[in-house]
Amino acid sequence: MASRNPFSPTFGASPPVLAGRDDILDNIEDALATGPTHPDYTTLFVGIRGAGKTVTLNAVEDLARSRGWLTLSNDATAGGLLPRLTRAAAELLNSGGSAGLSRRLRSLTVGGFGLELESAPTVDVARDLRMVLSDLGDRLAENGTGLMITLDELQSGDLDEIREFGAVVQHVTRREQRPVAFAGAALPQIEDTLLSDSAATFLQRCSRYDIGRLDPRATNAAIVGPVEQRGAAIDSRALEEAVAATGGYAFMVQLVGFHTWKAAADPSAGITAQEAAEGISEAERRIGRLVLDPTWRGLSDGDRRFLTAMTGDDGSSKLADIAARLGVNVKYAGVYRRRLIKAGMVVAAGKGRINFAHPIARDWIRDKAD
Ligand SMILES: Nc1ncnc2c1ncn2[C@@H]1O[C@H](COP(=O)(O)OP(=O)(O)OP(=O)(O)O)[C@@H](O)[C@H]1O
Ligand SMILES: [Mg+2]
């Protein structure tokens, strides 16, 4: 009787073995131990869909909690970020009893952290957040811990809100040296939006980590580790092929692992190369639909034609070539370029060149076009 499948091919679901991110986590652990002067006290994870940003943020939260820190985790997509964070921070503060509350905050709490914050002008909301985080930070500093704030999907956040949030953390953490740490995650298009916005200096000053592909050793560990944890085994050729099929892309690692396990008659007797090959084909059939289809469905016909024109190249494309293939002028093609970068389908690849953001996109779109 095969035991439960250990792999987790689901967005945001922590993998059984989080491979290849030890350096990042070690640096952040070191930062929490050192304090706000450490460059990794505020960090930003950037990577394509399915690269493993959310689960790395989760690991950062676990790390903070294991040191006795409090955590606040939020998604920047929904509006009202500041009031949400303010309320959540106030709850943390209140749940520790009112002993540590300063007078100004106590009066604010008596007034109620109610709905009125939602409609208050942004400047007041920012001031409230700064007050709550300052008081919470002071209180946590007394017992040698701190607060870790994580924000996912920063690229879809409201620019003004993120600026305000950044200014608050800048003040509380950098200027006043309170133990309020930050880790954020975003898709690469953040380069063209938030990180090119001169007002968002806070994000620009965060330590940047590219959540990129896993190297073959890490990929190996991510596949064989969970198998062995279940008391099962995998044939060395099967493992080699599974590792190669993932290209180090984290989501694909889970997908290949999952379907390989599923294809195996008896994993405890050892997953064979034949079974791995079946699992790999199944994973390859599913990956495009899972990762690219959601974005593709939201694109206009023009966007799709642009992307299809890019599949005429095996590497990066010259914008001028794409314009020529589409029979439009370069300026007009530039409009599509910008839109597709925002959608996360395309990345800039040097002067006048672009490429697919996603390594599997080219083949997937070619298959669609056929
Ligand atoms: N380091 C890793 N080792 C093994 N599996 C991983 C690793 N990182 C992520 N995964 C797996 O990859 C998948 C995608 O991870 P995650 O949801 O964190 O991606 P993401 O970058 O946040 O994607 P999105 O931009 O769509 O939110 C999940 O199934 C997760 O378990
Ligand atoms: Mg995510």
Distance 111 CA to ligand 2 centre (A): 36
- The reply to whether ligand 1 has any atom less than 6 angstroms from the CB of 13 is yes
Q: Range of 305's domain? A: 294-369
In DSSP notation, 99-144 reads: TT--HHHHHHHHT-S-THHHHS-HHHHHHHHHHHHHHHHHHHHHTT
Name the residue of 251, 261, 347 to mutate for ligand 1: max ligand atoms within 8 A of Cβ: 251
The per-residue pLDDT for range 348-360, each reduced to its tens digit, is 899 999 999 887 8
Which pLDDT score is estimated for 80?
Answer: 92
Residue 6 lies in a domain: no
Residue 16 confidence class, pLDDT cut points 50, 70, 90: very high
- Look up residue 10 and give its amino acid: T
Nearest to 147 by CA among 32, 283, 310: 32
207 pLDDT more than 90? yes
How many whole angstroms from 42 Cα to the centroid of ligand 2?
A: 18
Domain assignment present for residue 218? The answer is no
Is residue 117 pLDDT above 80, yes or no? no
Q: How many domains does the chain have?
A: 3
**Chain-centre distance for alpha carbon 28:** 16
H or E element: which one contains 22? helix 22-34
Residue closest to 213 by CA, chosen among 15, 18, 14, 20: 20
In this structure, the answer to whether residues 283 and 336 fall within a common structural domain is no
Contact 264, 275 (CB under 8 A): yes
- Mean pLDDT score of the chain: 90
pLDDT of 107 reads 40
Q: Is residue 357 part of a domain?
A: yes
Q: Is residue 68 part of a domain?
A: yes
Which CATH number characterizes residue 190's domain?
3.40.50.300
| Residue 206 shares a structural domain with residue 316 | no
- Tens-place pLDDT, residues 308-326: 999 999 999 999 999 999 9
Do 250 and 146 lie in one domain? The reply is no
Would the CB of 291 count as within 6 Å of ligand 1? no
If one counts every other C-beta atom within 10 angstroms of the C-beta of residue 122, the result is 14
84 and 146 fall within a common domain: yes
DSSP-based helix, strand, coil % in the chain, nearest 5: 60, 10, 30
Q: How confident is the model at residue 261 (pLDDT cuts 50, 70, 90)?
A: very high
Residue range 19-44: mean pLDDT, rounded: 97
Confidence of residue 106 (pLDDT cuts 50, 70, 90): very low
- Shared-domain flag, residues 299 and 280: no
pLDDT above 90: residue 136: yes
Query: Is ligand 1 within 6 A of the CB of residue 219?
Result: no
CA–CA distance from 94 to each of 88, 248, 274, 353 (Å)?
A: 10, 44, 58, 53
The CA 153 to ligand 2 mean position distance, Å, reads 7
If asked whether residues 51 and 90 sit together in one domain, one would say yes
Q: Where are the beta strands (DSSP E) in 187-257?
A: 207-210
Cα of 322 from ligand 2 centre, angstroms:
31
Distance, CA of 221 to CA of 225 (rounded, Å): 5
Supply 300's token pair: 């206009």
Tokens 């469905």 correspond to: 297
The dihedral built from the CA positions of residue 337, 338, 341 and 342, taken in this order, carries a sign that is negative
Same domain, 40 and 56: yes
Determine whether the shortest distance from the Cβ of 226 to ligand 1 is under 6 A.
no
State if residue 122 touches ligand 1 by the CB under 6 angstroms criterion: no
Per-residue tokens: 131: 């007050």
